[in-house]
Chains A and B, each alone.
Chain A
Amino acid sequence: MKSVEHPFRFVTVSYLTRIGNQTARTLPELLDGLEECSDASIFYHTFQSLGRHHFLTEGFSNDFAQWALAALNLPALAEQLATLDIRSYLVLTDLRNDLLRITHEYCRSHTAEAERVAFEPFHFCESLEVTIPVAWEAWTLEEFRHWLEHLSTSSFHYHFLSSRLRLGLRTNDFSQWFENELELPDLAKNTNQIDVYTNTIEGARVQLYKIVDRELAA
């Protein structure tokens, strides 16, 4: 196995939720909030929401879609908002713009529904991240496989999903290291293709175990 120049350094992450000042009870109010809220708020309700609800196996994508469904009873809008795949976004501005576009278009074509008042308000919140490098380092794929089992769900989410925003690339920390350090582009590609929308986060981790184990056995 190739020796690497830089080990994979695992990180422990924890989030604090800041309650924002914006609240929406209707779609126009949601639009206002989407326009004005911080990037940390978009992150909280999309990337982080998926992490917070990592145990759900189906039908949950982001807080906006869930609110449209459960509080406004607008399944068509919910479906559209839910189809946004956070892995496609490298900057939160693009994600915000798509959320705005979908909601705007829905309001234009469904004027009566746009005025509907929600059962419960939507509260805009923000994620504040605290990261701590842990002592574990992986210099080989075997070591990586070992430490992967010790990773908390939120740290797995941090390396696998939110890393896209940090890296500004359509990839993740694991795939980056596999490709750049271990020079295993297929392993990097297969890892990046794991679908977190049809799996729980734990399910995604199990898939990664399998892919890594296959590579180790080869």
Chain B
Amino acid sequence: MSLTKTDPHVISLDDYVPVVGAPEMDTLRALAAQLSGRTVQMVNSTAIGGGVAEILNRLIPLIQELGLHPRWDVITGGSDFFEVTKEFHNALHGGPCQARKEHYDLFLATNELNRQRLQFDCEFTVIHDPQPVALIDARAKQQGHWIWRCHIDLSHPNPEVWEFLRPFIYRYDAALFSSPDFARRLPIPEYLAYPCIDPLSEKNVELDPQCVSGVLERFGIDPARPIVTQISRFDRLKDPVGVIRAYHIVKRYRDCQLVLAGGGASDDPEGEEVLSEVRREAGDDPDIHILNLPPWSALEINALQRASTVIVQKSLREGFGLTVTEALWKRKPVVASAVGGIPAQVIHKHTGLLVHSVEGTAYQIRFLLSNPALAQKMGEQGHEHVRENFLITSNVKRYLTLFLYSLTHSQR
């Protein structure tokens, strides 16, 4: 499938001016002017669903509007291929590897079929994640700039899968990682490319107060009392039970309500199990609101985040943690575990508070509830931090900068 976005309803560059300011958009235009007419190809493994597709859906039209010629290709493969790549994905996160020789063969055969099916003639080719990594075979000698964008944590991969993928990765001109914590030592240049949120998406766009209060009313949450919220899947790694324990400690000192909102319990047996554990821990406390939301609840999540007094992300392990980004963008004071990409977002005592335990989480929630002026200041600074680093416009700027840098510093 080849997608070149020309949807007339797509949000345009000018829509971002009120959000990031005219000077920032001028910078994008100045960078892009140097790349006018250059061709860019993005390749990933899915057109809908998942963070990468979500980002590309916005990135491609913006790059196009800036005068480059982007193309978005999605690889195809059977369910068996995607089972193998899921296995690889888990193994690259450090899990055990069940893959056998035929799995590796299938991976290579599917990449080869896509290599034959797709056209690779752009000046910049960005391959996203491990699924299409072997497409580097399509690179004609010295042709274009090939960049591997790794969205996952590669710091502790399963050695077997890593050994298999490594030779492909080494042939790229550069790799992009979401955090220095997720990178590993490679013989090619590695650059930082934070994931991003779109401030104009349903999940992040400004809401009017009636919309927010309507959502609270629907879920029986009292808008007049402090609300402490964690938005995340019902997953043990997000430690929802730990959040309830922290809430119990806070409750000894401060009146508040707890909202645990997320999905993942309907289509995932483990999610259902975690949800039961969470309900058991919550008991019959009417101030704990456990909301198992369907995947199309962007507006509700937006409203819950905006209504919150404090937002918590007490994960035991985390990817980049875009729910933290969303909370910071909404000017909320955040208490979050110092794991994954969270320390890049939560600058301790400036844009939020980093924690390492249930007790620490409780203490910092109490601190923020008792110091609303400080909480507000952290929220404001968090908002600016996101504006500077974690919006789709920053993502566009990073790609343009990388392309320009590659052109001027190419050793070939």
* Least CB distance, B351 to chain A, in whole angstroms: 8
* Least CB distance, A216 to chain B, in whole angstroms: 22
Indicate whether A18 sits within 8 Å of B24 (C-beta atoms), given known contacts A52-B388, A66-B347, A70-B354: no
Contact of B183 among A19, A52, A134 (CB under 8 A): A19
Does chain B have a CB within 8 A of A104?
A: no
The secondary structure that dominates the A interface is mixed
* Least CB distance, B144 to chain A, in whole angstroms: 18
What residues of chain B lie closer than 8 Å to A111, measured between beta carbons?
Answer: none
Say yes or no: A59 contacts B23, CB within 8 Å. no
Does chain A have a CB within 8 A of B82?
A: no
Does chain A have a CB within 8 A of B350?
A: yes
Does chain B have a CB within 8 A of A112?
A: no
Residue with the greatest number of chain B CB neighbours at <10 A, chosen from A123, A152, A153: A152
Say yes or no: A14 contacts B388, CB within 8 Å. no
Say yes or no: B385 contacts A55, CB within 8 Å. yes
* Least CB distance, B384 to chain A, in whole angstroms: 3
Find residues 154-172 in chain B having any chain A CB closer than 8 Å to their own CB.
none
Say yes or no: B192 contacts A125, CB within 8 Å. yes
Q: Which of B119-127, B361-369, B394-402 contacts A (4 or more CB under 8 A)?
A: B394-402
Contact of B381 among A15, A56, A130, A155 (CB under 8 A): A56
In the complex, A17→B402 CA distance in Å? 9
What residues of chain A lie closer than 8 Å to B191, measured between beta carbons?
Answer: 16-19
- Interface footprint category on B: 35 or more
In the complex, A14→B347 CA distance in Å? 22
Say yes or no: A130 contacts B405, CB within 8 Å. yes
Chain A residue, CB-CB nearest to B356: A119
Does chain A have a CB within 8 A of B211?
A: no
Chain B residue, CB-CB nearest to A55: B384
What residues of chain B lie closer than 8 Å to A153, measured between beta carbons?
Answer: 23, 388
Say yes or no: B27 contacts A154, CB within 8 Å. yes
Contact with B along A54-73 (1 / 0, CB 8 A): 11110110000010011100
Say yes or no: B180 contacts A130, CB within 8 Å. no
Interface size on A, residues (CB 8 A): 36
Indicate whether A59 sits within 8 Å of B349 (C-beta atoms), given known contacts A121-B181, A150-B23, A151-B23: yes
Does chain B have a CB within 8 A of A218?
A: no
Contact of A14 among B190, B350, B401 (CB under 8 A): B401
Say yes or no: B189 contacts A18, CB within 8 Å. yes
Contact with A along B339-358 (1 / 0, CB 8 A): 00001000111100010100
Indicate whether A12 sits within 8 Å of B26 (C-beta atoms), given known contacts A17-B192, A56-B350, A120-B343: yes
Residue with the greatest number of chain B CB neighbours at <10 A, chosen from A16, A52, A69, A123: A16
Does chain B have a CB within 8 A of A206?
A: no
Does chain B have a CB within 8 A of A217?
A: no
Indicate whether A16 sits within 8 Å of B405 (C-beta atoms), given known contacts A125-B192, A152-B26: yes
Say yes or no: B177 contacts A19, CB within 8 Å. yes
* Least CB distance, A27 to chain B, in whole angstroms: 18
Say yes or no: A19 contacts B27, CB within 8 Å. no
* Least CB distance, B32 to chain A, in whole angstroms: 10
Give 13 pairs: A residue, B residue, CB < 8 Å, sorted on A.
A14-B27, A16-B402, A17-B191, A18-B189, A18-B190, A21-B185, A52-B388, A56-B347, A56-B381, A69-B348, A121-B181, A125-B192, A130-B405
Knowing that A125-B192, A134-B30 are A-B contacts, what are 14 other residue pairs whose CB atoms are under 8 Å apart, sorted by A's residue number?
A12-B27, A12-B30, A15-B401, A16-B191, A16-B405, A18-B191, A19-B177, A56-B350, A120-B181, A130-B405, A130-B408, A134-B26, A150-B22, A154-B27
B residues touching A (Cβ–Cβ < 8 Å)?
21-24, 26-27, 30-31, 33-34, 177, 180-181, 183, 185, 189-192, 338, 343, 347-350, 354, 356, 381, 384-385, 388-389, 397-398, 400-402, 404-405, 408
